[in-house]
Amino acid sequence: MSWETVIGLEVHVQLRTRTKMFCADRTTFGDPPNTNVCPVCLGLPGALPVPNAEAVRLGVRAALALGCTVHETSVFARKNYFYPDLPKGYQISQYDRPLATGGAVEFESPTRGRGRVGITRLHLEEDAGKLLHDRVPDRTAIDLNRAGTPLAEIVSEPDLRSAAEARAYLQTLRQILIFAGVSDCSMEQGSLRVDANVSIRRPGDPRLGTKTEVKNVNSFANVERALEAEQLRQQALLESGARVTQVTLLFNAGTGQVKPIRSKEESHDYRYFPDPDLPPLVLHPTFVSEQRAALPELPEARRTRLIGAFALSAYDASVLTSEPALAGYFESVVAAGVEPKTAANWVIGDVMTSFNQTGGFSVEPSRLAALVNLVREGVLSHRAAKRVYAELGRAADETPRAVAERLGLVQVSEEGALVGWVDEVLRSHPNEVGRYRAGESKLMGFFVGQVMKRSKGKADPKGVQPVLADRLR
Ligand SMILES: [Zn+2]
């Protein structure tokens, strides 16, 4: 008998602010430990938090991008627990009155086609510090630079039905947040973190099974692996007649296993209550509608526009909108006069390869357009153009044509030169010439190949064939 997996995700994204949620410390990644701290985020007596207006604005934007209702009044609450990474002894979060509720994300499911995930809520909170186990031998060190970093927690409905689907949803969510400009969503730098709730049940059963929570998975591939491992663990339990108990688990990327860290029975009672230092957060409706109006074009809308305006395939459009920067680059190349499908091929090929390696563009759109035009005019072969492209990033003040000439890649279409190569080839292959003249016309391909070889790829293949046909008559 088969099982159905039910998954809901809690995603924490770091909002792209310069300073922390309730104090003026910087949020820069990678600064020396404990240099961005102050009495507020250290929880010293008498220090008072002040909400970061930019973090609130970005939280509202994220909520609107996900189709949520932003509430005029939301409340900051204290989530109380003791852990060394939490100097105040509580985390400021939002509990029963979150910033926003009730949105949805549409995404492409690998198994079910078009899918939809409900967004239960989005609330604002601050991050904790970081324990470092590898800095001081036999000691745990603590870096409080992260403590107080603004986060939005995005909680989904249990609408996902497989590990692969959870990954696809997460990628779509990440794209939306990047396009909306609210977070850089870098999993490596910890600005996007995922906790997953997982349960399994028999297909058709309306009741939900007992759920477990897999915490802090740090890459898209690992989200999928961790959820698959947990789904198999639950199946094995149920099939052996045992029960699934409510536990929190950690994924070990090395072994591919999930391991319980604590059971819910002994889990904390967080004793939430409204933070007496912070009045309710009240947003003026005008502010919310301004934010809605200022929302940039989101990935879905951009894909639809690229397909409509440039007759791109759904596949090309979805690759180009995987990053806002790529989509922008593509549109600039088209604006510089390149036919859209050709521009898409270049961007999805060579441009994206170097973008993925460096995170930037080494060749401006106008120079790529000039290069592509050399191919269209027959000056360069496509292969030669790829070599010129690789060189263009290093030769910022040279034109594509100059680089092509320097590398000796300009195609020769001038008849005199072509005739020279053709005659040399025909002289050294008298046998094939005889067979061709006797009617073996498919040898034309062989002759063209030989001319290309003799010219070291410089002969314009479109010009070679008529010359050959003429000399072989
Ligand atoms: Zn601080």
Q: What is the pLDDT of residues 157-203, one digit of tens each?
A: 999 999 999 999 999 999 999 999 999 998 888 899 999 999 999 99
- Same structural domain, 270 and 354: no
In a domain, 137, yes or no: yes
Clarify whether residues 196 and 130 are in a common domain: yes
146 Cα: distance to centroid of ligand 1 (angstroms): 10
Distance 70 CA to ligand 1 centre (A): 27
Cα 145 to averaged position of ligand 1 atoms, centre (Å): 8
Ligand 1 centroid vs 260 CA: distance in angstroms? 34
Q: Same domain, yes or no, for 59 and 80?
A: yes
| Token duo for residue 77 | 């609450």
Rounded to the nearest angstrom, the distance between the alpha carbon of 155 and the centre of ligand 1 is 27
Distance 275 CA to ligand 1 centre (A): 17
Distance 21 CA to ligand 1 centre (A): 9
Give the distance (Å) from ligand 1 centre to CA of residue 129.
11
Q: How many angstroms separate the Cα of 416 from the Cα of each of 325, 408, 433, 447?
A: 46, 18, 21, 17
In angstroms, what is the span from residue 151 Cα to ligand 1's centroid? 15
- Ligand 1 centroid – CA 359 distance (Å): 31
- Measured from the Cβ of residue 381, the count of other Cβ atoms closer than 10 Å reads 20
Token pair recorded at residue 180 = 């909306």
Same domain for 186 and 97, yes or no, is yes
What is the 42 CA–ligand 1 centroid distance (Å)?
7
Q: Do 283 and 300 have their domain in common?
A: no
In the reported structure, the alpha carbon of residue 338 is separated from the centroid of ligand 1 by a whole-number distance in angstroms of 50
Same domain, yes or no: 399 and 419? no
Residues 13 and 95 reside in one and the same domain: yes
In a domain? residue 455: yes
Is residue 2 included in any domain, yes or no? no
Q: Is residue 261 part of a domain?
A: no
Q: Distance, CA 79 to ligand 1 centroid (Å)? A: 18
Domain count, the chain: 3
3-state secondary structure the chain: CCCEEEEEEEEEEECCCCECCCCCCECCCCCCCCCCCCHHHHCCCCCCCCCCHHHHHHHHHHHHHCCCEECCEECEEEEECCCCCCCCCEEEEECCCCCEEEEEEEEEECCCEEEEEEEEEEEEEECCCEEECCCCCCCCEEECCCCCCEEEEEEECCCECCHHHHHHHHHHHHHHHHHCCCCCCCCCCCCEEEEEEEEEECCCCCCCCCCEEEEEECCHHHHHHHHHHHHHHHHHHHHCCCCCCCEEEEEECCCCEEEEEEEHHHCCCCCCEECCCCCCEECCHHHHHHHHHHCCCCHHHHHHHHHHHHCCCHHHHHHHCCCHHHHHHHHHHHHCCCCHHHHHHHHHHHHHHHHHHHCCCCCCHHHHHHHHHHHHCCCCCHHHHHHHHHHHCCCCCCCHHHHHHHCCCCCECCHHHHHHHHHHHHHHCHHHHHHHHCCCHHHHHHHHHHHHHHCCCCECHHHHHHHHHHHCC
Instruction: Indicate if 312 and 170 belong to the same structural domain.
Output: no
Whether residues 277 and 154 share a domain: the answer is yes
pLDDT of residue 268: 67
Residue 148 CA to ligand 1 centre (angstroms): 7
Residues of the chain with pLDDT under 70: 1, 262-268
CA of 400 to the centre of ligand 1 (A): 51
Question: Which of 288, 323, 356 is the C-terminal boundary of a domain?
Answer: 288
CA 80 to centroid of ligand 1, rounded, Å: 19
Domain encompassing residue 172: 8-201+266-288
What is the 61 CA–ligand 1 centroid distance (Å)? 24
Distance from the alpha carbon of residue 147 to the mean position of ligand 1, in angstroms: 8
- 300 and 364, same domain (yes or no): yes
* In a shared domain, residues 449 and 377: no
Judge whether 229 lies within some domain.
Answer: no
Pairing state between β 281-282 and 273-274: unpaired
Q: Which of 234, 256, 288 is the last residue of a domain?
A: 288
Tell me, in angstroms, the distance from the centre of ligand 1 to residue 216's CA: 24
Residue 224 confidence (pLDDT): 94
Q: Are residues 48 and 125 in the same domain?
A: yes
In a domain, 249, yes or no: no
Kindly state whether residue 1 falls inside one of the protein's structural domains.
Answer: no
Provide the whole-model pTM.
Answer: 0.83
Q: Tell me, yes or no, whether 182 lies in a domain.
A: yes
pLDDT in tens, 8-65: 999 999 999 999 999 999 999 999 999 999 999 999 999 999 999 999 999 999 999 9
- Alpha carbon of 210 to ligand 1 centroid (Å): 40
Domain boundary among 288, 318, 338: 288
